[in-house]
């Protein structure tokens, strides 16, 4: 099944009432409590066709859930791409000019290049710089278990395990194509007290993705102390949470040619038991698994030279 084949089971939220915001930047809203506490940032629609994060932030605003301490900022990120979302062509609004989540390094942000995404990222940069904690809400091409992408650092692993939702945690270094927001600045520095998580809440347009985005958001805010447990309790699932499991990403398969194909219709989280199993072909090159019990992380349908086709990992204690 390709991304085009999945039904659109989510309604696109109307975020236009939030355009003016309250910090001088469109679609950014900030709420503060006089009681001292950390500054938490929630981000959505880093990719314009990923609806669940916008639904979660809209939910929080409609429920009027305010921070019990510290500061809470909500940012709808790539709004130009989001406003182009068309259920009849749901894959075409991922970005306008380039991937918003591959440009978060100082040399790119301070460099001479221009694009719709860079213009927006430069405007949002002070918002990102001000945050102590970041939760970046995303969704995936295929309908697989939701993933917490905690980054390569121990501080991210510890936080992801403590929250325990989603329970499948991926510790990875990101993409060769560029740095993600969750790895920007202090978020990507083990010595910094800042921390960030990126959560892939499910397939882009499945109903469960919005539910997981809301639950993840509330659990993170309770964990930090931004919300009290009683604030979130009415909206949380009563189902017991599974024991978290961590997948450490060891390799990323970067596409070298214009003729990359997978050997099977991989969806993600498949475990290939034998070293040397065939993953696919990159032109005339055979792509093989590097070790036994190799886990496939988010195989892509955007098989473009220079991009990541799939990441490879293994379960760790």
Report pLDDT digits (tens) over 200-242. 999 999 999 999 999 999 999 999 999 999 999 999 999 888 8
CATH 2.40.50 positions along the chain are 246-316
Give how far Cα 38 sits from Cα of 72, 194, 195, 226, Å.
8, 10, 11, 8
For position 60, what pLDDT does the model report? 98
Reduce the DSSP state of residue 188 to 3 states and report it: helix
In this prediction, residue 239 carries a pLDDT of: 87
User: CATH topology for 3-235?
Assistant: Aminopeptidase (3.40.630)
State the DSSP code for 84.
T
pLDDT over 60 at 248, yes or no: yes
Average pLDDT value for the chain: 95
Residue 4 in this model has a pLDDT that exceeds 70 = no
Quick: pLDDT tens for 70-87.
999 999 999 999 999 999
Range(s) of the chain covered by CATH 3.40.630.10: 3-235
Residue 272 pLDDT > 80: yes
What pLDDT, in 10s, does the model give residues 123-136? 999 999 999 999 99
pLDDT of residue 317: 80
Q: Which CATH number fits domain 246-316: 3.30.1360, 2.40.170, 2.40.50, 2.60.40?
A: 2.40.50
pLDDT at 301: 85
DSSP state of 4: G
pLDDT at 3: 55
Nearest to 65 by CA among 241, 217, 239, 198: 217
pTM: 0.93
Residue 283 binned pLDDT confidence (cut-offs 50, 70, 90): very high
Q: Is 84 within 8 Å of 101 (Cβ atoms)?
A: no
The pLDDT-based confidence of 65 (bands split at 50, 70, 90) is: very high
* pLDDT for position 176: 77
């Amino acid at each position: 099944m390709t991304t085009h084949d999945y039904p659109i089971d989510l309604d696109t939220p109307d975020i236009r009432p939030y355009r003016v915001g309250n910090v001088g930047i469109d679609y950014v809203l900030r709420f503060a409590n006089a009681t001292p506490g950390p500054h938490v940032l929630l981000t959505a629609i880093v990719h314009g066709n990923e609806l669940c994060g916008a639904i979660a932030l809209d939910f929080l605003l409609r429920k009027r859930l305010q921070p019990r301490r510290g500061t809470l900022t909500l940012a709808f990120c790539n709004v130009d791409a989001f406003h182009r979302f068309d259920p009849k062509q749901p894959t075409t609004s991922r970005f306008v000019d380039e991937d918003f989540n591959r440009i978060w390094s100082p040399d790119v942000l301070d460099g001479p290049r221009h694009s719709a995404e860079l213009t927006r990222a430069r405007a949002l940069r002070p918002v990102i710089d001000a945050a102590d904690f970041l939760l970046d809400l995303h969704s995936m091409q295929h309908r697989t278990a939701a993933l917490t992408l905690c980054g390569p650092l121990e501080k991210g692993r510890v936080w992801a395990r403590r929250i325990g939702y989603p329970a499948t945690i991926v510790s990875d270094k990101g993409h060769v194509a560029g740095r993600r927001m969750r790895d920007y600045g202090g978020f990507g520095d083990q010595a910094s007290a800042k921390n960030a998580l990126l959560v892939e809440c499910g397939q882009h347009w499945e109903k469960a993705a919005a539910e997981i985005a809301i639950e993840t958001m509330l659990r993170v805010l309770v964990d930090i102390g931004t919300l009290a447990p009683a604030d979130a309790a009415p909206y949380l699932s009563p189902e017991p949470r599974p024991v978290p499991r961590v997948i450490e990403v060891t390799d990323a398969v970067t596409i070298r040619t214009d003729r990359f194909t997978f050997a099977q219709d991989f969806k993600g989280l498949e475990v290939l038991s034998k070293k040397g199993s065939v993953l696919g072909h990159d032109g005339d090159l055979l792509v093989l698994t590097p070790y036994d019990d190799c886990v496939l992380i988010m195989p892509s349908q955007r098989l473009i030279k220079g991009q990541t086709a799939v990441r490879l990992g293994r379960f760790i204690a």
